[in-house]
Amino acid sequence: MIELLNKDCMEVMAKYPDKYFDLAICDPPYGLNIANMNMGLGKSPKCSSIKNRKWSKGDWDLIAPDINYFNELRRISINQIIWGGNYFDLGRCLHYIIWDKEIPPGMSFADCEFAWTSFNKAPRIFRYSAYLNKTEKTHPTQKPSKLYKWLLKNYSKPSDKIIDTHGGSMSSVIACYDFGITKMVCCEIDKEYFDAAVKRFEIHKLQQKIFFK
């Protein structure tokens, strides 16, 4: 089953034995205070307006996870894909993943994001615009579900057990659901984000039922 938990991921991970999960796909805070960036801006034609953003200020991205988090994540999972890997001291990376966000010219946002992985393969790039379906964002660092579907297609199989310790908007959950993965645990400690993400997931499931009916 897909289990959605409004809990601290450290408490949740402590309950699992070593190497219980086949794959951890996580997007932990980078320590950039992104939830409070550019509040109230958006007047420039080159900037996307954020006056209608669907989240409030928060302090969840003030401090990045410490080594205890990464040690626990590696303990309970066989392989890991960790977004923002360039912000953390994770050791040597033989197979990194780049998400090319296809940012329009003139924008101040980063052109891409980097994921550290435990795999030993040639590096890969996934190209998909961060501006598609932008009005549907419920989280400041929301990644597209198509990105997670691509990750699942290339790094897992439907029988795998997956964990996401920082669910955010739960794009990973939507991807697992569509990919046919039934053994998945997703944590999100912030109640506001959790409720919005659960609602998003429920709407997605309903749409899928109607579409494939």
φ, ψ of residue 81 in degrees (nearest 5)? -125, 115
87 lies in a domain? yes
42 lies in a domain? no
The reported pLDDT for the residue numbered 171 is 95
The reported pLDDT for the residue numbered 131 is 80
CATH of the domain at 90: 3.40.50.150
66 lies in a domain? yes
50 lies in a domain? no
45 lies in a domain? no
40 lies in a domain? no
- Domain of residue 103 covers 2-34+59-211
Q: Which amino acid is at 104?
A: P
**Ramachandran bin of 8, using left for φ above 0, alpha for ψ from -120 to 50, beta for the remaining angles:** beta
The reported pLDDT for the residue numbered 41 is 36
The three-state DSSP-derived secondary structure of 61-101 is CCCCCCHHHHHHHHHHEEEEEEECHHHCCCCCCCCCEEEEC
23 lies in a domain? yes
The reported pLDDT for the residue numbered 33 is 67
pTM of the model: 0.85
139 lies in a domain? yes
pLDDT digits (tens, 9 = 90+) for 5-51: 999 999 999 999 999 999 999 999 987 666 666 543 333 333 344 44
Domains: count for the chain: 1
Q: Which two tokens stand for residue 48?
A: 């996307």
In the chain, which residues have pLDDT < 70? 32-61, 108, 133-135, 209, 211-213
